[in-house]
Amino acid sequence: MTNEAPHDHDHDHDRDHVLLRTEGRAAYITLNRPKALNALSHPMVLRIEQALTAWAQDPGVEVVVIDGAGGRGLCAGGDIRAIYEDARTGGTASADFWRDEYRLNAFIARYPKPYVALMDGIVMGGGVGVSAHGSVRIVTERSKIAMPETGIGFVPDVGGTYLLALAPGELGTHLALTGAPVGAADALLCGLADHFVPAQALPALSRELAVDPVHEVLERHVQEPPAGTLVPARDAWIDHCYAAGTAEEIVARLLARGLPAAKDAADTLLSKSPTAVKVTLAALRGARRPGPLERVLEQEYRVSCAALSSPDLVEGIRAQVIDKDRDPRWSPAALEDVTPADVDRFFAPLDANELGLVATTSPQEVVW
């Protein structure tokens, strides 16, 4: 969500976008593009992976901490404008970026040391990918976590369909289709985070991790979060409505429920790309089958690459980010016009260009 084209950076500038340091027993990653809400570029992903690889081998590093500069959020996602230019010109830069980004997501999920993600403020899309797969995920009263991809004609990626498929009941379906953001308590409920810590305590928590083991530091700072909204909503309408077999039936159930919140969800869902909604529903249901994160990332990579050549991605980014008219003209324009064949196209094998992430190990047991 930045104005910079991908080729505008010189190399030194890119290095400044990810700040790395070690102190005591801890290593720290700070995403440092505050004007772009710390949006991830390809060089940033490679720099993070390089650092994590080195620290995994370094006996002096016992914990890794990731946060975002600027006070507004950890990370608002990937560099949307770069993807827009790439999709318009039929390039391969986005596919190359996603390949390395998804590999990083899998690496974080299996990281052999505690990986502490400070999910303060806005954490969306690719920001979820570098945080919610970590072993210690901390949210605050300012956290706003979302996978808002359907609003730009895209589909939740970075392992987002894996995480949301594991959420209780149909909560993940609701969040994936509508792109609705959640706060701390609801993020904990959905399995996107582990602990609530007040934002003002994060600097102390971060400093103390350089000295003391993770569990001791957490004991000092973890509190009960303010109440969320999804528990009552789940009982009242979410689980019933989103259990429907098709996107059309989900909308019909939401509208028939007679509740303002359910009607709002239907209106939101109907404003998203109909193709993206149907592909997201299919992707989520596919991610529910037992299997490792890597298998879901393989599926997401196929879907993301297919989205690059779909008209809705370019149109969605145009409407939301480029022209900002907030009036996307989706094609097809209605859910009922998206055929099963339209959806299946997104899941077709890429043959020579598959992600090629095979889960060779079980998740590492992290010992604190």
- Please give the structure tokens belonging to residue 356: 């090629």
Tallying the residues shown for the chain, one arrives at 368
Count CB atoms within 10 A of the CB of residue 326. Answer: 9
- Please give the structure tokens belonging to residue 305: 């690459």
Active site residue 78: yes
The Cα-based distances of 350 to 99, 310, 353 in angstroms read: 13, 16, 5
Catalytic residue, chosen from 79, 101, 157, 194, is: 157
- DSSP class of 69: T
Catalytic residue, chosen from 68, 126, 159, 316, is: 126
Q: Starting from the edge strand earliest in sequence, which strands make up the sheet with 18-23, in order?
A: 18-23, 26-31, 63-68, 115-119, 136-139, 195-196
CA distance 35 to 44: 15
Beta bridge partners of 23: 26
Active site residue 298: no
Active site residue 291: no
R_g of the chain computed on alpha carbons: 20
Catalytic residue, chosen from 79, 101, 149, 170, is: 149
Can the peptide bond before residue 332 be classed as cis, meaning omega within 30 degrees of 0? yes
Active site residue 149: yes
CA distance 115 to 122: 19
CA distance 325 to 133: 34
CA distance 368 to 362: 18
Count CB atoms within 10 A of the CB of residue 16. Answer: 10
Instruction: Check: CB of residue 36 under 8 Å from CB of residue 2.
Output: yes
CA distance 22 to 227: 36
Beta bridge partners of 263: none
Strands (E), 44-114: 63-68, 73-75
Catalytic residue, chosen from 77, 78, 151, 159, is: 78
Element (H, E) at 26: strand 26-31
Active site residues: 78, 126, 149, 157
